[in-house]
Structure 1
Amino acid sequence: MVEWLNTSLASLPLPSFIVLIKQRERVEETLKMHSFGYRANALLTFAVTILALMCAMASLTDNFNSPSTSAQVQVLNINWFQKQPNGNDEVSMTLNISADLQSLFTWNTKQVFVFLAAEYETPKNFLNQISLWDGIIPSKEHAKFWIHTSNKYRFIDQGSNLRGKEYNLTMHWHVMPKTGKMFADKIVMPGYRLPEEYR
């Protein structure tokens, strides 16, 4: 059609010539609008919009999940309890850690980071938190577990405050979604006490 317009322009009077020029511009614009690049751009925009909408919906569904978790920790043995040369108390202990965190997993859950911390108060610090063990749970099948271990990280106080000290063992977890915001929660297990004397 554009070729036909090109051959017809020379034989027309001026007003008709202007009309045909405008028609030609419209035809060229229409051809541009239906070019491969234009169609690919429209398809990509539509796909990205749908993907963003699906991600938002996946993130929102996590708000309807009410997990029911459980955890237990047994302190089987105080392997040693000593005062370091710098004056800080240090403890090594053997633990049985069991937990059922399967209900944390939804179709939007990528993985769960979990750690066990000893928490206690001292005159110097309102909250002392020492990580004893941690792990990454990659799937629901691995979220119910039992572990027999010594503390993975050193239990060292900032001072000599641990003799006879009461402390909590707290299991913390951070749920990492495939899309959306990460959220965290914990189970506090109170009632633990360290020995009165060094061993």
Structure 2
Amino acid sequence: MHSFGHRANAVATFAVTILAAMCFAASFSDNFNSAAPTASVKILNINWFQKEANGNDEVSMTLNISADLSSLFTWNTKQVFVFVAAEYETEQNALNQGSNLKGKDFNLTMHWHIMPKTGKMFADKIVMTGYRLPEQYR
């Protein structure tokens, strides 16, 4: 009737089809997860604030970051990449990161990228306002 090769091919094809359906279901179910992380950042100390040779400002701060990122994790989450960036507005640009920071009000923005086991990546952020840099370099 059927040889061993035909039967092995049928079993392998069925297994791959089921695996593909499970991957689709996993990535589709992530669309229904409403992530709502919370975060707060306190600046404990400005270690140094100086201008680099290339014209950008360099700031070293000691931060106390308290964040609840548990809502970002689902059974399909492989890893989450999180970083904090300092951003400020000027008349010329709505978003700046890097130079002319003396005496500027700035926002600390916590960005995250969710990398799933299957499916597309998701990214979002929380903007925390109310921070100001010193008027002089240290």
TM-score (norm 1): 0.64
Q: How many Å separate the matches in 1 of 2:110 and 2:16? A: 39
What per-residue deviation string (whole Å, max 9, x for no partner) do you get for residues 78-101 of structure 1?
122233455543222111111000
Aligned to 2:40: 72
Aligned to 1:164: 103
Structure with greater helix percent: 1
2:138 is the counterpart of 1:190: no
Aligned to 1:141: none
Q: How many Å separate the matches in 1 of 2:71 and 2:111? A: 15
Q: How many Å separate the matches in 1 of 2:51 and 2:84? A: 23
Larger Rg: 1
Structure 2 counterpart of 1:178, from 97, 100, 117: 117
Q: Once superposed, which parts of structure 1, at least 4 consecutive aligned residues long, lie more than 4 Å away? A: 122-125
2:40 is the counterpart of 1:95: no
How many residue pairs get aligned? The number is: 138
Aligned to 1:110: 78
Q: How many Å separate the matches in 1 of 2:16 and 2:67? A: 40
2:20 is the counterpart of 1:52: yes
What per-residue deviation string (whole Å, max 9, x for no partner) do you get for residues 54-95 of structure 1?
110011111111122100110111122233455543222111
> Which residues of structure 1 form unaligned runs of 5+?
1-30, 130-156
What per-residue deviation string (whole Å, max 9, x for no partner) do you get for residues 9-65 of structure 1?
xxxxxxxxxxxxxxxxxxxxxx3xx10111111111111111000110011111111
Amino acid at match of 1:195: P
- Give the superposed CA RMSD: 1.7
Q: How many Å separate the matches in 1 of 2:127 and 2:108? A: 6
Q: How many Å separate the matches in 2 of 1:172 and 1:66? A: 16
Give the 3-state SS of the residue equivalent to 1:128 in structure 2. Answer: coil
TM-score (norm 2): 0.90
Q: 1:50 to 1:118 in 2, by over 3 A?
A: same
Deviation at 1:168, TM superposition (A): 0.6
Aligned to 1:36: 4
Q: 1:88 to 1:186 in 2, by over 3 A?
A: closer
Give the 3-state SS of the residue equivalent to 1:107 in structure 2. Answer: coil
Q: How many Å separate the matches in 2 of 1:198 and 1:116? A: 22
Aligned to 2:50: 82
